[in-house]
């Protein structure tokens, strides 16, 4: 693995519970197929997989708790959330809006990975 490579999965975990979400859900299912393949290839090549996603106000939630919430009684985004759930060897970052890119340095768990603070 090169220390400069990482796979970023950005905002793929969503409830899709808003008006006019149906076309986006269809596109998200197609994108999820590609993301799943890329994620498995990255893991096989020992490339870090980093999820950056809104946490829907659950600031203390673990990635597993977020997936459980999204996959709960949620026919729109639940299946995608389950398919793309971060595994134990995954780095996750939850933040509102674009703050993951504009208002933070790399957390300690990112040190030594593709992220440089």
Q: What are 35-76's pLDDT values in tens digits? A: 999 999 999 999 999 888 877 766 677 778 888 888 887 777
Q: Within 13 Å, how many C-alpha atoms sit on residue 61's CB side? A: 18
Q: Are 23 and 64 in contact (CB under 8 A)?
A: no
Question: Taking 60 as the threshold, does the pLDDT of residue 103 lie above it?
Answer: no
């Amino acid at each position: 693995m090169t220390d400069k490579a990482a796979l970023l999965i950005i905002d793929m975990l969503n409830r899709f519970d808003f008006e006019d979400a149906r076309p986006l859900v269809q596109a998200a299912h197609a994108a999820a197929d590609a993301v799943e393949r890329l994620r498995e290839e990255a893991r096989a090549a020992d490339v870090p997989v980093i999820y950056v996603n809104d946490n829907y106000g659950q600031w203390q939630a673990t990635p597993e708790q977020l997936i459980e919430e999204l996959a709960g009684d949620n026919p729109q985004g639940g299946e995608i959330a389950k398919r793309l759930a971060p595994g134990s060897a995954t780095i996750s970052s939850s933040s509102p809006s674009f703050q993951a890119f504009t208002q933070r340095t790399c957390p300690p768990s990112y040190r030594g990975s593709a992220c440089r603070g």
